[in-house]
Amino acid sequence: MAGSKTRPLLLLAVMIALFLLAMMAIPLTSPASIAAQAFPTLPLATFVTPTFGPSPTFTPLPTFTLSAPRTPGACPQPVNLIPGQLVVVTGGINVRSEPSPSAPLIAYFSEERLVRLIGGPACGGGYNWWQVTGFGGEPGATSGWVIEGNNVGRLFIAPALVVPDDPCYSPLPLAVGDEVIAVTGVRVRNAASLAAYTVTVVPIDGRMTILEGPACFNGINWWRVSTTYPTTGTPVEGWAAEGFPDNYWLQSVDALTGAVEIPCVLPLTLRPGSRVAVNYYDGVPRRLRAEPNVNAQLLLEMPDEIALQIIDGPVCSGGYNWWNVRVISTGYVGWFAEGRPGRYNLEIISR
């Protein structure tokens, strides 16, 4: 039993001895050599010393000088009008409290008005202005300022050559039973007054028959007429204003057909190649016709501001100067009436 207990101890001792002999057979290495093997020495990198060139030269930015604000141009030479005289102001014009485009609005002339000058001219906003009275504006407004014209030479105001001691022009030579034609859109009212109720509007070339007149009111000659409603053809009667010399709203059918010759005013200064634009204020489109005559074939209703090129003309017919024109956008060619002073149907773009 004693021998069997000591046998494991002998085996353990032998194993320890063998381990020690094995360790003695391995060559010893110093810590420095171990570190050298683990971390080999690398060659040092060669650094190049930078060479700096001359400093770059910067071109200075240009200096901007703000110019002085543009001053409005001087007003053109005013027309020869005298405070105290009667004048005709075209339709579509604003009446303002001061001679300035930005002044408060007092009234609006939707149709031509006969008014009296009481002041002016005054330059405001690059335009000439005249002070007028004799219109119905806002309560308490007895006078106001209207612009003389635009910057392309079109005038909105003209002297009224009335008969002395008579607030109206000499009336057209019309008689009861005469047939008249509307030169522009004509309002037929229930009384001879611009403030009266509008019964109907007779379109351009619409026919009316004279029943009574003339009656002078608002500085305009009025005629009682019979016509028909444009949409239903129902007969209707009322009062129509004849307009003003060189700008009548009514014309005798006999005059337009040549039975009575009507002279023309001096035409606009145009030539072949000139460019113009259709221009109107009453909302009634003007018409392009096949011949220079208000009874000629209708080719086209011309929208406002459409551009035209003059081909030939003018030709005087029925009291109107007519121009042979080409519609630039469509190529249509026909005859177009230029209108009359104070209510031209054309505005010049280039001569």
Residue 322 near residue 270, CB atoms below 8 Å: no
List, for residues 268-320, the tens digit of each pLDDT value: 889 999 999 988 766 667 889 999 987 788 898 888 888 999 999 999 887 78
- Percentage of the chain beyond pLDDT 70 is 71
- Scanning the chain, the segments in alpha helix (DSSP H) are 2-25, 31-38, 253-256
Q: Do the beta carbons of residue 137 and residue 144 sit within 8 Å?
A: yes
Whole-structure pTM value: 0.37
Query: Scanning the structure block, which residue is given the tokens 């037929």?
Result: 188
100-108 mean pLDDT: 89
Q: Any residues with CB less than 8 A from the CB of 160 and at least 6 apart, and which?
A: 85, 86, 87, 88, 114, 169, 219, 244
Neighbouring CB atoms inside 10 A of 148's CB total: 25
Number of alpha helices (DSSP H) and beta strands (DSSP E) in the chain: 3, 25
What is d(CA 314, CA 267) in angstroms, rounded to the nearest whole number?
Answer: 7
Reference 89, options 152, 148, 142, 161; nearest CA is: 148
Omega cis (within 30) before 62: no
Q: Is the pLDDT of residue 188 over 60?
A: yes
Decide if 167 contacts 174 (C-beta within 8 A): no
SS3 for 255? helix
**Residue with more model confidence, 210 or 153:** 210
Q: 345: which 2 tokens?
A: 């149907």
- Residues 39-98 pLDDT 10s: 555 555 454 555 555 555 544 444 434 434 434 558 888 888 877 777 888 888 899 999
Question: How would residue 163 be classed by pLDDT, with cut points 50, 70 and 90?
Answer: very low
Determine if the peptide bond prior to 263 is cis (ω within 30°): no
Asked if the model's pLDDT at residue 198 lies above 50, the reply is: yes
pLDDT of 161 > 60? The answer is no
What is the Cα–Cα distance from 160 to 169, expressed in whole angstroms?
8
The answer to whether the CB of 202 falls within 8 A of the CB of 228 is no
Domains of the chain, CATH where assigned: 86-159 (2.30.30), 179-256 (2.30.30), 275-350 (2.30.30.40)
Closest CA to 184 of 21, 348, 19, 345: 345
Longest Cα–Cα distance in the chain: 171
